[in-house]
Structure 1
Amino acid sequence: MTQLENLNQYFTENRERHLDEMKAFLAIPSISSLSEHKDDMYKAANHLSDLLTAAGMENATIHDTAGHPVVTADWLHAEGAPTVLVYGHYDVQPVDPVELWDSMPFEPEIRDNIMYARGSSDDKGQVFMHVKVLEAMLASDEKLPVNVKVIFEGEEEIGSVHLDQFIADHKDYLKADVVLISDTSLYAPGKPAVVYSLRGLTGIQIDVRTAKGDLHSGMYGGGVHNSIHVLADILASFHDENGHIAVEGFYDNVLPISDDERAAYAELGFDAEQMKEEAGVKTLFGEEGFSYLEQTWARPTLEINGVFGGFSGEGVKTVLPAQAGAKITCRLVPNQDPHEIVALLRAHVAKHQPEGVDIEITEFDKGKPFIAPFDHPYVQAAGHSYETQYDQKTAFIRSGGSIPIVSTFDEILAAPVIMMGFALSTENFHAPNEHFHLENFDKGLRVVSDYLTEIASIEKI
């Protein structure tokens, strides 16, 4: 049998064991944003280190950071072959509201060949898939076709706060010819996709104060500022009626969408009715002059994520709220700088700030956008490997989401970043009843195996 036939047999014979091991990994509540789960983060890191060692990887190490630990390992005995750096994250989002789950989020269940658990698709299930590929190759052939390093972090869901510095401090160790990530989705069920661009992310919180405390509306109403009125005016000023962002200078550095990209998006056969059904909305709305895929992949956004202030209990409380606030995030596209965008947001708020009203701006974490040439040999090889398991041609697409650390890999390691995901956009990551279709787990094992084998024959660039 060929190596890939041996691997296929290994995956088939060990499938039940692998799924049981995946359940054990998913059962660890590695919620990075909640301090009460700090011990669980170390438990997950140790568990992952043990899985890597059992798979045959060498030098598995848990690195302390100022936040949650980073796990690394390597196998570097493929002389002359490219070096692949595999990245993923073992942290997950909180599970609230837990009452909306059909099964407990950290008690994994398989129903109809679908794994239900928090982290099953984002991203622990896909991280586990890569570990099992390495295990299978080392068990079947006692070697890997390429050199492999892994870096798995525990802070992706909170902005990879400390990973930039970790990569900078360990750039010599992490040096690689290509970075491989499975933290994205297929374009559609059965339709594989290589993501070559991601949007960046930045944001602010706006806190408005108009008085030292809430005021009686009968005594002061009509005579002083109402904090919610002030906030509402500012928020309304961010967009015009056609969905364009009205912040001066916001679009200045946005790269135009090429004709080739527009043509490629048109060939994907986007179904607006299906998208409306998936989102549970009656109509789609976005920046005028662009298609839905262009709006969500290649154009920037400014979203109001939350508004707070005043009285919201039962009945009426006749006060003028002294304080109100809002949280705003922006998805950014290639050539936009998060720091510059925040400066523009600050200037816009200041322009609309009434006299006598105090406004405080708090900045959120920032992530740069990313774009790579999709004609790169390592990118194209990913498309070929997908097609060994999927019957449709691989799409090369942008993603509207953000993986901030990707631009860091691009800048510090100067290696192409290949995003080969196996999740589906409908799998409820970040929401109740997150799940992972095991059909794509099975195919993913074989696709990644083929990819590592194929790029071994590509001359190092």
Structure 2
Amino acid sequence: MIETIKTYLEEQRDQHIEELMQFLRIPSISAVAEHQPDMKRCADWVAESLKNAGLENIEIMPTGGHPVVYADWLHAEGKPTVLIYGHYDVQPADPMELWNTPPFEPVIRDGKLFARGSTDDKGQLLLYVKVVEAFLRTQGSLPVNVKFCIEGEEEIASKNLPPFVEKYKDKLQADAITLSDTQMHGPGKPALMYGLRGLAGFEITIDGANSDLHSGLFGGAVQNPIHALTKLLSSFHDTDGRVAVEGFYDRVIELSDKEREAFKQVEPNENKVRTDLNVDKLYGEKGFSFYEQTTSRPTLEITSVSGGFQGEGIKPIIPNRASAKIACRLVAVQVPDEIMNAVEAHIHAQDLPGVKVTLDRQLRGNPFITPIDEPVMVAAAEAFEDTYGVWPVYTRSGGSIPIVEVLGRVLDAPVVLLGFGLPGENLHAPNEHFHLINWEKGTETISRFWLKLTARNEKA
């Protein structure tokens, strides 16, 4: 069957690429109000594309912002159901003068398709639509049931999607969730990203006297909020770089031996990292490699500090206020509010006379992980190996994609990130592009993945 699917996709390749170029010509920039009509036009285009592929129950569903496009095909009785997530919005194209060709006039050069959205995420999203088309046109059915949830606000933090998923969780329910909005490890080197860090962001404010004070008249007798702040900030870590907040590590799931071995395949050269950053020494929690520190360990980073006179010269005062902003990157299964509770308790345990300390909680995002031995992950790895001829490497991201955790948690289903982009494809930057070799390899991998899910289901 897979050879029939591949043949169809090869025969229709030029037509499919032309359709992708139509998709890319729509400047669906969610962040810019003047592109509201383009967002609607793009949602309509996606809905029509899903219909042409043979999907059913197509809806353009309103949210508090840009709509979600839904579609499904649910006739594979007794087979798994896969929810495909993607987004049709794109980043602004500025600065325009740095593009070699106009960002919304796609062109192909050297086997690469250049346009805003080509790799993030229109090119990768359309792979799934064309796999549906290939199966339905050649087999008359799909090996799995599928649902599509395609949003228009990923590039503006998906603020309306979590309540949408909560509201329609029965409609979206699936046995597995897949998305392709990530990258491979390199050309011909597939990767399965199985973990993302979460986020807890807050601001600490320290208030002293009711106004700035003359440092000669009051210095040494009244607490300086900056002094108190620096004392507090220095208490957050021990001398080995470990976070010194009680309970900070309580929920951390330690790496397995299998994971640590897998990390060795993607671990960057630490000397090169140090040289590239122009620092004489790397610093961090002892006992962990650079990659482990930046992907699988939680952090507490002071991202900004402010207080006192910031202008030219010196103004000899005791400022009445000082503040710092903190970003904690979290790993499974830490909970943002629990971490902020622990930080607040740590603050109150410090001896800071003469000042008032407040903590303003601002950002929350749960970490995400799908175990690498989860059956759907194994099926995805096997599909990658069959297509690319090598077993994929396993990666974690030091950053956060909060909606991935939301989908997995609310729908109680494993999430598989099948990335077909490549490093250096300039997503979010001028001259964004997508290597078309991964168009062919991507559709084949997805096809094999669905077939393997069905085969595993039949054996179970």
Q: C-alpha separation between the residues in 1 aligned to 2:200 and 2:239? A: 23
User: Which of 328, 336, 339 is the matching residue for 1:338?
Assistant: 336
Q: Would you say how many aligned residue pairs link Structure 1 and Structure 2?
A: 458
* Aligned AA (2:73): W
TM-score normalised over the length of structure 2: 0.84
2:202·2:360 contact (CA, 8 Å) conserved in 1?
A: yes
Number of the residue aligned with 1:414: 412
- More displaced 10-residue stretch of structure 1: 145-154 or 318-327: 318-327
1:205·1:325 contact (CA, 8 Å) conserved in 2?
A: yes
Give the CA deviation at 1:144.
Answer: 1.7
1:204·1:328 contact (CA, 8 Å) conserved in 2?
A: yes
- More displaced 10-residue stretch of structure 1: 233-242 or 129-138: 233-242
Number of the residue aligned with 1:448: 446
1:26·1:124 contact (CA, 8 Å) conserved in 2?
A: yes
- More displaced 10-residue stretch of structure 1: 415-424 or 11-20: 11-20
Give the CA deviation at 1:151.
Answer: 0.8
Number of the residue aligned with 1:148: 146
Which deviations, in whole Å up to 9, do the C-alpha atoms of 1:90-127 show, x marking residues without a partner? Answer: 33445555565555554544443333444333333321
- More displaced 10-residue stretch of structure 1: 241-250 or 263-272: 263-272
Number of the residue aligned with 1:245: 243
Q: What SS does the aligned partner of 1:387 have?
A: helix
1:78·1:145 contact (CA, 8 Å) conserved in 2?
A: yes
TM-aligned CA distance change 1:319 to 1:411, over 3 Å = same
2:30·2:91 contact (CA, 8 Å) conserved in 1?
A: yes
Q: C-alpha separation between the residues in 1 aligned to 2:284 and 2:447? A: 40
Q: C-alpha separation between the residues in 2 aligned to 1:401 and 1:338? A: 15
Among all aligned residue pairs of Structure 1 and Structure 2, give the percentage whose two residues are the same amino acid: 49
Q: What SS does the aligned partner of 2:258 have?
A: helix
Q: What SS does the aligned partner of 2:407 have?
A: helix
Number of the residue aligned with 1:427: 425
Q: C-alpha separation between the residues in 1 aligned to 2:400 and 2:226? A: 31
Give the CA deviation at 1:356.
Answer: 5.3
1:53·1:60 contact (CA, 8 Å) conserved in 2?
A: yes
User: Which of 353, 363, 366 is the matching residue for 2:364?
Assistant: 366
TM-aligned CA distance change 1:278 to 1:146, over 3 Å = farther
Give the CA deviation at 1:86.
Answer: 0.8
Number of the residue aligned with 2:298: 300
TM-score normalised over the length of structure 1: 0.84
1:353·1:359 contact (CA, 8 Å) conserved in 2?
A: no
From the CA coordinates, give the structure whose radius of gyration is larger: 2
1:84·1:147 contact (CA, 8 Å) conserved in 2?
A: yes
Number of the residue aligned with 1:190: 188
1:194·1:396 contact (CA, 8 Å) conserved in 2?
A: yes
- More displaced 10-residue stretch of structure 1: 90-99 or 180-189: 90-99
1:278·1:426 contact (CA, 8 Å) conserved in 2?
A: no
TM-aligned CA distance change 1:362 to 1:26, over 3 Å = farther
2:265·2:393 contact (CA, 8 Å) conserved in 1?
A: no
User: Which of 74, 77, 82 is the matching residue for 1:76?
Assistant: 74
TM-aligned CA distance change 1:246 to 1:116, over 3 Å = farther
Unpaired runs of at least 5, structure 2: none
2:57·2:71 contact (CA, 8 Å) conserved in 1?
A: yes
Give the CA deviation at 1:73.
Answer: 0.4
Number of the residue aligned with 1:26: 24
Q: C-alpha separation between the residues in 1 aligned to 2:275 and 2:21? A: 31
Give the CA deviation at 1:200.
Answer: 1.9
- More displaced 10-residue stretch of structure 1: 211-220 or 395-404: 211-220
Q: C-alpha separation between the residues in 2 aligned to 1:213 and 1:35? A: 41
TM-aligned CA distance change 1:212 to 1:94, over 3 Å = farther
Q: C-alpha separation between the residues in 2 aligned to 1:227 and 1:106? A: 51
* Aligned AA (2:412): A
